[in-house]
Structure 1
Amino acid sequence: METMEIHRGRLIDHLQLVVRDLPKAQTFYTAVLAALQVPMGGTGEGYFWADELFVSTADSQAAQGHLTGRHHLAFQAKDRAMVEAFHQAALAHGGTDNGAPGERPYHPGYYAAFVLDPDGNNIEAVFHGEAQRSADSVRVTF
């Protein structure tokens, strides 16, 4: 896997999910990430990745140990419409509803949707409301 450019500086450096059915997971995450305007990064033998998310099979060189079960991953969305697009894309591509788009009580303006991916991981898209950011991300070029 040759990476020429990555983005860093957000909350998560990277997250790896180990899945049972890689093609099914790739169909799901390709659609969900497209709705969030995050391009796929690449694929290899037993894995695919996009930005900080790395998804592999249990027998991939990147996976170690045993499958650990359900995880929670929250993607950032730039507005409410993107949260809704994420939810629609997820449901249309193998996801199961786990919380329709709407405001949550975590803090004022927290607007999110939740789905279970094909392996039962709880996947969220969240828009935190209007706020100013110092930068969208930090671009690192090799």
Structure 2
Amino acid sequence: MKTQLHRGRLIDHIQLVVRDLKASQDFYAAVLAVLEIPITATAEGYFWADELVVSSAESPAAQGMLTGRHHLAFQAKDRTAVDAFYRAALAHGGRSNGEPGERSYHPGYYAAFVIDPDGNNIEAVYHGEAQRSVPSVVIEF
């Protein structure tokens, strides 16, 4: 089985260290599913989805420390996906931190914000119609 990574964006990876891995996996599995981002790996103490790794404090990479509060924004393919993200988050342990709607950051910025089970501010955003030169760079090894 080949390992496949997608590169060419700003972030290589983000690790969130959480108190309750099961609650976080339920939350992220639901919100990532509606954004069409698969969880690609699970193991004792962590799970991985694209550039996001979520682990327990007991995992070797966490060294026993929780990460604290972070803001993380996922790209959504359209406004419907933002709305679905928000509903999925609320149904799986998230709390509202801003209902879906236009924001003043730039014209067409449509987003929703939720607080995940560990207090992180999680956003789904659709920036409006745009074209990418490529979706990402694929690296296989």
Counterpart amino acid of residue 55 in structure 1: V
Which runs of 5 or more structure 1 residues have no equivalent in the other structure?
Answer: none
1:90 aligned residue: 89
Structure 1 segments of 4+ aligned residues over 6 angstroms from their partners: none
Counterpart amino acid of residue 13 in structure 1: D
SS for the counterpart of 2:123 is strand
> Bigger CA drift: 63-72 or 89-98?
63-72
2:102 aligned residue: 103
What are the Cα deviations for residues 38-59 of structure 1, in whole angstroms up to 9, with x where unaligned? 0111111110111100000111
Q: Percent identity?
A: 72
2:23 aligned residue: 24
Counterpart amino acid of residue 44 in structure 2: E
2:139 aligned residue: 140
Q: Return the TM-score normalized by structure 2.
A: 0.95
CA spacing shift, 1:73–1:91, aligned 2, 3 Å: same
Aligned length: 141
Whether the 8 Å contact between 2:99 and 2:113 is mirrored in structure 1 is yes
> Bigger CA drift: 5-14 or 101-110?
5-14
Q: Return the TM-score normalized by structure 1.
A: 0.94
SS for the counterpart of 1:120 is coil
SS for the counterpart of 2:42 is strand
What are the Cα deviations for residues 48-82 of structure 1, in whole angstroms up to 9, with x where unaligned? 11110000011101113632421000000111111
Instruction: After TM superposition, list the pairs within 5 Å mapping 1:48-127 onto structure 2.
Output: 48-64=47-63, 66-127=65-126
Counterpart amino acid of residue 105 in structure 1: S
CA spacing shift, 1:3–1:22, aligned 2, 3 Å: farther
CA spacing shift, 1:111–1:85, aligned 2, 3 Å: same
Whether the 8 Å contact between 2:18 and 2:55 is mirrored in structure 1 is yes
